[in-house]
Amino acid sequence: PATSLAHAHTAAAGKDSDGARTVGLDAKLQVVDENQHFTKTLDEHMKGWNLADAGFNYDVVAVFGSQSTGKSTLLNRLFGTRFDVMSETERRQTTKGIWMSKGQDMNVLVMDVEGTDGRERGEDQDFERKSALFSMAVAEVLIVNIWEHQVGLYQGANMGLLKTVFEVNLGLFLAAKQKGKEKGSSQDKTLLLFVIRDHIGATPLANLRNTLTADLNRLWDGLSKPSGLESSTIETFFDLDFVALPHKLLQPEKFEEGVLDLRKRFKSPQEGGDVYVFKSKYHRRIPADGISTYMGTIWDAVVSNKDLDLPTQQELLAQFRCGEIASQAFELFSTAVAAFPPSPGAGKIDSSLGARMAAAIASALKSYDTAASRYHPAVYARQRVELVSKLHAALHPLYVSHLKNLHKLVLREYRVEIEQAIRGEGYDFALVVRSAREKAEKTFEKEAKAVVLEESGWSVEEQRAGLQEDMDQVAELLRKEETRKMVAVIERNIKRQMSDTVELALNKPSDDMWDKVLSAFKAALAKAEEAYLKKAKSFNCTQEEMDGALSLLRRRSWLALRSKLQEHTAEAPMLGKLKLVFEDKFRYDADGVPRVWKPEDDIDLIFRKAKDSVLELIPLYAEIKPSDPFNAFELPSSSGPTGVVDPAAASADEDFDFQESLQLLSPSAQSSLSNRFRREADAYYIEAKRSMVASRAQ
């Protein structure tokens, strides 16, 4: 009766619409061909078999035995594979080589070794040895297929084959040991499962087992063993088990029953129970994605008769595969990074960059770890470190430009913040700067921290220091600007305040004229200084800066006063003032009544007295000089730079001679003024004379 295993062998490898071969689940592959070449499509088949990502979750079984003992038939029955079976009618030889297929409904790689039966035909046993070596290196379970009637024939072909298997295994052990790597651990044990075919039933399996075991031990004892292994037994390297199957043609139903029973041992630990064959101790620990490379290199070593040392092979495989897995991870990562949103431009930042970078790294490492962690731990770890530093290096430029832009952004916000705060009144500059700075630093730390990847060793120290320096400079600049503005405002106020005082005082010349002006000026200046100092305190100014600003303030105020005074003491207004005083004295009498000149009036005397008293006023106006020295005002003179720190006040750096500044009218200006005044006064005199003559004539 057809079993469930025999049903679905319709399309091993279908063709898709493009004509390209796609590997089907039940495809079979000639891993080693008649010319002893290793396949190039094992990877592709691993994918087709859905095993590429299986990790360690797969097993390998190989079959050994003489030609035409029903090996392929057995495998096809057990695993649902489609290995070629010699036709019963044609007796045509099947294609030589090592074939591989995946067990149906199980993650098992099944290897069918098709050789010429060298022993029986007298050909060399080269291929048998090579395939034995290869199978030992990769398979967990070796099925040894023999006829019942061969059991006990110690000189038979089977024993020759087993001798080869044993020798090859000892060779592997020795090669590993010479490399200083101990192979004899239980993990490297192999299960030899003897399947005794055409079991008639007359001899119980237990007896067959005893006979075979005795023969095997005899064989083992006869082998020349490397030193240290003289007392070793078969069990040091192998577990043995025995199964018997009835004759397929004579007892087909019993045969099928036996096969189904045997299949359970391969199917799963649940179904197999105690006799489940793929115990983890047999597993070769080659991750599925490395199988193709591993088998390929093993076969190459086998073919070229090199010493095959599996631990070294596994380490080489680990290096190769971890490298490949790392570059795949890096490629994934590069694609992800290329898909990052474009940089937001100078002075702008993308706050999600850090998270994006971290995610890209995490997913790259996850992809690496998943596959690579199955390999040699040291190799895996070493290549991981390399990968991580490569990932970090790739992201470093993004990090650097992010920090630069962050610096710009924070600095700009900081400046705007201060500028806005000092636009109004009543702020405390130092407080404004401090809070703006705190905010800026907080933003910087937060955004900078977000892009510093874990374990990257990246430091924001330099950028932080640069930012702080820049912020200091901005604050300094703003403070100076503020100081300059403040001094200008104070100066304007003084000018306004002084304007009336000056006007009043200068229009009514008197001995204490300058006392009035100067004391008013000093009072205004004192108030201004007080106002400045009050503000300056919040500027965190140094004493030197405050002194500089104060001396600037004094200088500017003084110069403002002086320019006001100069307006008043220019020739024309001066003449006006003098004329008014003269008129007062000449045209009005002592009681302020306008004079009507009478003949008895001594015009000449009155005229001379009035004129002289006015002329005496000119020196009074000419120099700012209080009558009481107490009211004197003084400023230090300077040539070249003053002590003023503020560069914005460069005008104050001009040469300044205080004594000179007290002089309002130069001697020549004074004489010119007095000349003009005399002429004007003379005109008054003539007019007065005429009016008297006219009155007398009436």
247 sits near ligand GDP (criterion: CB under 6 A): yes
Least distance between ligand GDP and beta carbon 248 (Å): 3
Q: Is 71 annotated as a binding residue?
A: yes
> Could you tell me which residues are beta bridge partners of residue 243?
195
State the minimum distance, in angstroms, from the CB of residue 71 to Mg ion.
Answer: 5
Instruction: Render 153-195 in DSSP notation, one character per residue.
Output: -TTSHHHHHHHHHHHHHHHHHHHHHHTT----SGGG-EEEEEE
Query: What whole-number distance in Å separates Cα of residue 252 and Cα of residue 434?
Result: 96
Q: What are phi and psi of 220, to 5 degrees?
A: -60, -45
Give the three-class secondary structure for 128.
Answer: helix
The Cα 607–Cα 24 span in angstroms is 138
Per CB under 6 A, the list member of 73, 101, 158, 557 interacting with ligand GDP is: 73
Q: How far apart are CA 236 and CA 186, in angstroms?
A: 8
214 vs 249, beta carbon nearer ligand GDP: 249
What is the pattern of x (binds ligand GDP, CB under 6 A) and - over residues 166-205?
Answer: -------------------------------xx-------
User: Least separation, in Å, of the C-beta of 72 and ligand GDP?
Assistant: 3
Tell me: does residue 30 bind ligand GDP (CB under 6 A): no
Q: Which stretch binds ligand GDP (CB under 6 A): 42-50, 69-77, 510-518, 643-651?
A: 69-77
Q: Binding residue per annotation — 67?
A: yes
Nearest CA among 112, 38, 22, 107 for reference residue 74 = 112
80 belongs to an annotated ligand binding site: no
Q: By three-state DSSP, how is residue 283 classified?
A: coil
Name the burial class of residue 139, with classes exposed (0-12), middle (13-18) and buried (19+) by CB atoms within 10 angstroms of its CB: buried
Binder to ligand GDP among 11, 214, 223, 249 (CB under 6 A)?
Answer: 249
Stretch that binds Mg ion, among 12-20, 63-71, 204-212, 514-522 (CB under 5 A): 63-71
Report the phi/psi class of residue 201: left, alpha or beta, with left for phi > 0 and alpha for psi in -120 to 50: left
Closest C-alpha among 117, 262, 138, 139 to residue 196: 262
Q: Per the annotation, does 258 bind a ligand?
A: no
Between 142 and 318, CB nearer to ligand GDP? 142
Q: Find out whether 70 is annotated in a ligand binding site.
A: yes
* Binding mask of the shown chain, residues 86 to 105, with x at each position contacting ligand GDP by CB under 6 A: x-x-----x-----------
Q: How far is the CB of 96 from ligand GDP (least distance, A)?
A: 11
Considering only 39, 69, 104, 463, the residue that binds ligand GDP (CB under 6 A) is 69
Using CB under 5 A as the binding rule, whether residue 145 contacts Mg ion is answered as no
Closer residue to Mg ion (CB): 94 or 435: 94
Least Å from the CB of residue 276 to ligand GDP: 24
Helix (H) or strand (E) holding 475: helix 461-507
626 counts as binding ligand GDP under rule CB under 6 A: no
Which are the contacts of 364, defined by CB distance < 8 A and separation ≥ 6? 329, 330, 332, 333, 336, 387, 391
Answer for the pair 31, 42: CB distance below 8 angstroms, yes or no.
Answer: yes
250 or 477: whose CB is closer to ligand GDP? 250
65 marked as part of a ligand binding site: yes
Indicate the residue type of 160.
Answer: G
Distance, in Å, from the CA atom of 666 to the CA atom of 671, rounded to the nearest integer, reads: 9
Single out the residue of 22, 67, 213, 497 in contact with ligand GDP (rule: CB under 6 A).
Answer: 67
**Helix and strand counts by DSSP (H, E) for the chain:** 21, 7
Element (H, E) at 61: strand 59-65
Nearer to ligand GDP, 88 or 462 (CB): 88
Applying the rule CB under 5 A, the residues between 255 and 294 that interact with Mg ion are none
Strands 108-114 and 97-102: antiparallel
Binding residues for ligand GDP, total number by CB under 6 A = 16
From 104, 280, 311, 101, select the one nearest 191 (Cα to Cα): 280
* Phi and psi at residue 241, to the nearest 5°: -145, 160
**Residue 551 in the binding site for Mg ion (CB under 5 A):** no
Judge whether 254 is annotated as a binding position: no
Q: How far is the CB of 69 from Mg ion (least distance, A)?
A: 9
Q: Which is nearer to Mg ion, 112 or 309 (CB)?
A: 112
* Interface residue with ligand GDP, options 22, 36, 50, 68 (CB under 6 A): 68
Question: What values do phi and psi take at 356, rounded to 5?
Answer: -65, -45
Closest chain position to ligand GDP (CB): 70
User: Given the rule CB under 6 A, which of 85-93, 323-331, 463-471, 492-500 is the region that contacts ligand GDP?
Assistant: 85-93
Q: Does 72 bind Mg ion (CB under 5 A)?
A: yes
CA distances from 107 to 25, 165, 266, 267, 546 (A): 11, 25, 10, 9, 87
Q: Is residue 131 at the binding interface for ligand GDP, with CB under 6 A as the rule?
A: no
| Residue whose CB is less far from Mg ion, 68 or 499 | 68
Rounded distance between C-alpha atoms, residue 460 and residue 463, angstroms = 5
Nearer to Mg ion, 114 or 215 (CB): 114
By CB under 6 A, name the binding residues for ligand GDP.
67-73, 85-86, 88, 94, 197-198, 247-249
Q: Known binding site for GTP: residues? A: 65-72
By CB under 5 A, name the binding residues for Mg ion.
71-72
